[in-house]
Structure 1
Amino acid sequence: MLRVALLDPADGGVDTLPMATKAMARRIGRLQPDTACIRVKRGAAVGLAIVFLCALLSACGTEAARASGASGATAVSRGAVRTTVPSSPASPAFRARADAVQRAVRAAGVPAPPSGIFLYSSRTPGLAFDTTEQKLAWSAGQVVLAPGIQLEAAGDSHLDFADGSSLPVNVLGARTALAGQVGSTPSNCRGLAAAAYTLTVTSASLRTADVVTSRGPATVPAWSFTAKGLSRSIVVIAVSNEVLKPRFAPVPPPGLAELPLGLLGVDDLTRVEGNTLIFNVLYGGCETDLHAHVVEFDDMVVVGGSYGPRRADTCGLDVEHRSAASVTLATPLGDRAVISAATGVRLIPL
């Protein structure tokens, strides 16, 4: 059976594809607003077709229009989270997996929680282009400042968080912020040579953008650029990577076997509230009777899920889904690590 998964793009945009390509995408899996390509997890029968589609989505085509302005990111609500996957006591199979995970994690050393503030949004929120030529120029680094353009001084500003706290920061200069986000790899697409196109920036102003961070929603300084022939602004976060760090990418412990059939993985730890953990369970469209599980140890808790018999009908292309689940610990989490049963990595609350 072939399973595919929908991925988020690095630049936050969506390509407007030819109708035939869109139809193919819908046959493989629902084309969501923040979808850049489709990842083949198992099976190679249609691998070339999917790789071709992924290339079209990530490199070619016209990006769909999004609202212009500096507030392109969507804030995450901190209200009640609706959970759809019920929890139940760990099955023998899940408990055996949890035991294997905790041994592998301890052998490698229980990872310490990462320090700093991590940016979960794109550094170019709402980035979108009107034409393929504009996107090619951006991706190839063919972006220039118009002669005589006046740029504001950078200066100091602050990050404002939803809880009312703030953090003073130095603002990146407009040139520095822009140069850090444009591409550097010329590529040809549908017979168009990237080197033949240039995107000319005609003005820049310092505004703010709403983003999502490891400390929750935040309003941050951002440069808003206008470019010749582009109907919307290009917004670039004006805070360095040292302050707003790239999203944490944990490394799985060595020697951990793949997740056995019948068990489910987790991709995000949404919230920790006292004895309650809320996370997203990953599952396929053919998998039914879903349950979330947790096994507690002195220095960690292992979370994941399981599924029952697969559907009797022919699933064919199995699109990966994610749904929220909530589990209750016997005692508050404290400083224990939350570990994914699938990968053995430490999960950090969003």
Structure 2
Amino acid sequence: MNKHKKRLVGLVLVPFLGACLLAGCGGGSRADDGHTNGQSLQKQEERARQVAHAWRGSASAAAWRQGYFPMADAVQAPESGWHSQADQQAYKSNNFVLQGNLPTATTEQGKIDWTGGNTLTRPLIGAKKAYQSFALNRSEGPRLTVTGAKLGKTTITTSRGTATVPAWLFTLKGYDTPLKRVAVTPSKLPQSPIAQARQGSADGLRSVPGLARTTTDGRSITVWAAHGACDDGPVVKVLETDENVVLFASVKGAQSGPCSADLTEQNVKVELRKPLGDRILLDAFTGRPVPYEELDGRSPSWT
């Protein structure tokens, strides 16, 4: 089920200074074809500016800021931690078995409460559907046993900060604290005000597949970035405005000639000039918000 390669390397990439962004710096960067070409970075940066401009003050941005978009895993392990490596492995491999009955009736709507006082009502998913979202494997080997569930609450990081949301609390055999699964459904993703970039139109620009994590202070983010077998790895740069943070990715040291088609995704840490806050994190290539994406595929992705 894991769609990411296991070869993961952490990189720290320093953002452009504001003055450098305005001047279109980038001499000496390596284009996607492996040749030194300062114009490549300038074209990528220009695309990032176009995306930032399109989202600024748009109806899409307003819809985004009024919606509920989770930026963390909807499934949360027991607070007490796992009792053994076998149980942890069962969780990572989504290997569960149900021994007992799950609630069949529940309220249709649930309230989301943000730390700042804002609220939103969204539809809830039932206990059975919530269970099926993480119990994806029924193979031999280590398993976790679910014996029941009840509706409760949990907290989750969202695009608008931390929120308290309805959650199904699943009782696990042998555990005093439950496994939690967020019960409220994400809002509909607004249509991007700008179309996806045409392949090759921005000299090596690539998409940023997903957000892996954000630090507590919001000053750095870690994203997934892909590269091939014949380059020196991914590069992710950032354009910051008051309303948006636009990421533009490429690879460095690409070699010409025959090469394997295999791609590797690795986590790339990007430092910001100021906390991300409620600014929209955007991908320059797609022109859309960067989705949260779990390594093991249990993402509450709203895409």
TM, length-normalised to structure 1: 0.45
Q: Which has the higher contact order (CA 8 A, sep 6+)?
A: 2
Report which of the two structures shows the higher radius of gyration computed on alpha carbons: 1
TM, length-normalised to structure 2: 0.50
